[in-house]
Structure 1
Amino acid sequence: MARAIIVVIDSFGIGYSPDAVDFGDVGANTLANLSRAYFEETGKRIDLPNLSALGLIKACQQASNQEFPYQGQEPSKGAYGFAQEISTGKDTPSGHWEMAGVPVLFDWGYFTNKDNSFPKSLTDSINQATGFEGMLGNCHASGTEILNRLGEEHIKIGLPICYTSADSVFQIAAHEEHFGLDNLYKYCETVRELLGDLNIGRVIARPFVGDNADNFTRTGNRRDYSVLPPAPTVLDKISTAGTHVISVGKIADIFAHQGIDEKTKATGLDALFDATLNHINTAQDNSLIFTNLVNFDQDFGHRRDAVGYARELEALDLRIPELLGALSDDDVLFLTADHGCDPTWPGTEHTREYVPIIAYHNKIDSVNLGNRTTFADLGQSIAELFNVEAMDYGTSFLPELFKK
């Protein structure tokens, strides 16, 4: 029976979407713009031959109607297209839930004030419930900047660093040794409970290590505390029907551990990729392996490191043959993304973009899937593949993958 592998290249947008004007993102294009920046800084064209063969470059050109510096080839195998998000936000839960067949059609709650971001009533409740006399931060910030600014003070006085962003998040950074990982998780769980009706999508534990601002580094022990999706996702449906659903990376956290049967954590592109390969080599028939490659987003997109992003893409491309070679004849691989995060774009936030839809099995020729009007087309395809009740949103492209 079929197995499916979904690999989310976190933040890998391929051109601003029609509603990008509502988000201030007209002109954003994560792949094209980082390719130009890489060429301008290094004099080299980004080299993605394996992803190009699967149709990635062609999908980006179709989504954005533009050429850009790249090194690759025309599509020769696999199905390729580009998908538009219909969820109201450009955040991680919205993107993942929509690709699992449940778009977010309500408005998230946000902390919009750049300073003193959290209401006093909330911070008072948090302090009382946790026993701390206060918190550091209480502002909009990027994860690396706030560690450089407040990490040493945090170690000295012991207060957690709390901050937010343009996303619907409450983030807490704390030193793994001085504050303690278990204490950080407990603090986050308390905050999650106290957010109540504010409709904040995630509380994120951001542990770090290091001695001073010069060497503070976030660790792989991040944990996301998400609210539940507003309806059962395709993961819930296939898991209930007997499919073994495996999470690699932060997938389980994003789905509030619903519809997940097995979880594997890993840190870094190679470790996440290796964990995915290990599951492909060992998972039973009738399994879904769902991986998020978070480093593209957190290490390069948000940090506006176009060259680093390009090199990480080249590193991923080099490993694509391993992934394809591990597939059995009944396996179907899907590569996609959850939103954009153009490293050349002003600020440090996500960008509203189309995402790639790439699908592959061992007997497929090159197929152009074109413009998919919602990420939920992937969830609908998964529902059809595993023969469960159709989702309320999306159109399956599975028939396109198995044309005779």
Structure 2
Amino acid sequence: MNKQGKAVILMMDSFGIGGAEDAAKFDDQGADTLGHIAAARGHLNLPNLAALGLFKAAEASTGKAPAAGAQGPALVSLPSKYGFMREISHGKDTSSGHWEMAGCPVQFDWGYFKPDYPSFPPELIEKICKEAGLPGILGDKAASGTAIIDELGEEHIKTGKPICYTSADSVFQIAAHEKHFGLDRLYKVCEIAFKYVKPYNIARVIARPFEGEKPGEFKRTKNRHDYSVTPPMPTLLDAIKNAGGQVISVGKISDIFAKQGITRAVKASGLTELWDTTLAEVKNAAPGSLIFTNFVDFDMAWGHRRDVEGYATGLEYFDTRLPELAALLGPNDIVFITADHGCDPTYKGTDHTREHVPVIMFGPQVKPAFLGGRDTYADLGQTAADFFGLEPLKYGKSFLKD
């Protein structure tokens, strides 16, 4: 394994840059997370991302430059490669996007629960409640996580029934109050649920703890935990770990990969804390390390909530932290910026959108290049494997030397 440098993946959860060719299959025609945020906002100041090629990548993806307006001075001047990537996985969900960029496309169909009440099969709920000692559940439908907590939080506190809901993703989500229900108890219920959803081919069970005493005050805490099935084949993370390198996950990356290939998992939440933690890990990591961060707020707090201004402000803040990262890079280090799917906050509904995602690679020794449209997210993983001197992954084409 080549241990001369380290690699960083900044995974901007849900940051699509234009509708994919197969968007109609997902009823997502016309979605464009970046383009529509820029148009709705009127101005989007991302000078560092622009200098690294983001807007050019978006224009290549859609045929039209984002209406972002004039940009301020860029403080990152490192050479970059830029383009966009297409997804070949069957879904537009978190697990599929992350696994594919690590070299493991999802070439099978996940199971899904129906959106209308009751979403869950009665026999499934009966098994979970019996083993967990629950008096029943609330919810039992597809819903926005923040909305359903406001709707049912008080009843949950009074009855002790957890709030169970799903979405367009392959998920079974359980929300419960940290104090009144108990965090450890919530995790135990999720472990039980994870066991019983396996026959339904569900990708994840998600614990959604919250606090507060009444609607308008309920707020989800940072103690979310995902129970995920394992990727069906070894990923980039496994390859690095098996070769003696370090794989440091920040945020929910470890949960998404079911801890497979992770040497150290660092918890963090919120855009500021995720950035602070990432910078600290990059500073301290040894050559031969991969630091992999999921910036979940773009998806969870703004994309699904259809909050255009929140998303735009988050993007601008993200951009301001890039110079700090650039200053920490050694001569042989590289950084990737990408996403796992779209979640256009101007689009109908509250679900993910099937989109192209950006792929940007920068660092002191990077040879500048326009990468065009890549055929799979797995090109990123293959490039990282090439960078570390590992055996080629099964999927993807490296652009390290392009």
Please give the range of the TM-score, normalised by the shorter of the 2 chains. Answer: over 0.9
C-alpha RMSD over aligned residues? 1.3
Q: Give yes or no for contact 1:14–1:353 (8 Å, CA) kept in 2.
A: yes
Q: Give yes or no for contact 2:247–2:262 (8 Å, CA) kept in 1.
A: yes
For residues 107 and 119 of structure 1, the distance between their equivalents in structure 2, rounded to whole angstroms, comes to 19
Count of aligned residue pairs for this structure pair: 395
2:32 matched residue in structure 1: 29
1:132 matched residue in structure 2: 134
1:10 matched residue in structure 2: 13
More displaced stretch, 378-387 vs 339-348:
378-387
1:72 matched residue in structure 2: 71
More displaced stretch, 63-72 vs 125-134:
63-72
2:264 matched residue in structure 1: 262
Q: Which runs of 5+ in 2 are unaligned?
A: none
Query: Helix, strand or coil for the counterpart of 2:401?
Result: helix
Q: Give yes or no for contact 1:4–1:331 (8 Å, CA) kept in 2.
A: yes
Task: Using the TM superposition, give the Cα deviation of residue 364 of structure 1 relative to its aligned residue in structure 2, in angstroms.
Answer: 3.2
Task: Using the TM superposition, give the Cα deviation of residue 113 of structure 1 relative to its aligned residue in structure 2, in angstroms.
Answer: 4.1
For residues 191 and 160 of structure 1, the distance between their equivalents in structure 2, rounded to whole angstroms, comes to 12
Q: Give yes or no for contact 1:49–1:317 (8 Å, CA) kept in 2.
A: yes
Task: Using the TM superposition, give the Cα deviation of residue 365 of structure 1 relative to its aligned residue in structure 2, in angstroms.
Answer: 5.1
1:141-156 equivalences under 5 Å are: 141-156=143-158
1:172 matched residue in structure 2: 174
Tell me the alpha carbon deviations over residues 221-277 of structure 1, each in whole angstroms, 9 at most, x when there is no partner: 110000010101111111011011000000000000000000111121110011110
Q: Give yes or no for contact 1:53–1:72 (8 Å, CA) kept in 2.
A: no
Q: Does 1:359 align with 2:361?
A: yes
Letter in 1 for 2:130: Q
2:386 matched residue in structure 1: 384
Which of 233, 236, 240 is residue 235 of structure 2 equivalent to? 233
Tell me the alpha carbon deviations over residues 268-299 of structure 1, each in whole angstroms, 9 at most, x when there is no partner: 11100111100111111111100000011000
Q: Give yes or no for contact 1:54–1:366 (8 Å, CA) kept in 2.
A: no
Task: Using the TM superposition, give the Cα deviation of residue 388 of structure 1 relative to its aligned residue in structure 2, in angstroms.
Answer: 1.7
1:218-367 equivalences under 5 Å are: 218-364=220-366, 366-367=368-369
Query: Helix, strand or coil for the counterpart of 1:357?
Result: strand
2:60 matched residue in structure 1: 62
Task: Using the TM superposition, give the Cα deviation of residue 385 of structure 1 relative to its aligned residue in structure 2, in angstroms.
Answer: 1.3
1:191 matched residue in structure 2: 193
Tell me the alpha carbon deviations over residues 323-368 of structure 1, each in whole angstroms, 9 at most, x when there is no partner: 1111111111000000000000000000000000000011335321
Task: Using the TM superposition, give the Cα deviation of residue 196 of structure 1 relative to its aligned residue in structure 2, in angstroms.
Answer: 2.5
2:86 matched residue in structure 1: 84
For residues 229 and 37 of structure 1, the distance between their equivalents in structure 2, rounded to whole angstroms, comes to 38
Letter in 2 for 1:48: L
Query: Helix, strand or coil for the counterpart of 1:309?
Result: helix
Query: Helix, strand or coil for the counterpart of 2:344?
Result: coil
Letter in 1 for 2:376: T
Q: Give yes or no for contact 1:101–1:394 (8 Å, CA) kept in 2.
A: yes
1:215 matched residue in structure 2: 217
Task: Using the TM superposition, give the Cα deviation of residue 67 of structure 1 relative to its aligned residue in structure 2, in angstroms.
Answer: 2.9
Task: Using the TM superposition, give the Cα deviation of residue 38 of structure 1 relative to its aligned residue in structure 2, in angstroms.
Answer: 1.3
With normalisation by structure 2, the TM-score equals 0.96
Tell me the alpha carbon deviations over residues 52-93 of structure 1, each in whole angstroms, 9 at most, x when there is no partner: 000001101110111332133899731110000000000000
1:122 matched residue in structure 2: 124
With normalisation by structure 1, the TM-score equals 0.96
For residues 206 and 309 of structure 1, the distance between their equivalents in structure 2, rounded to whole angstroms, comes to 22
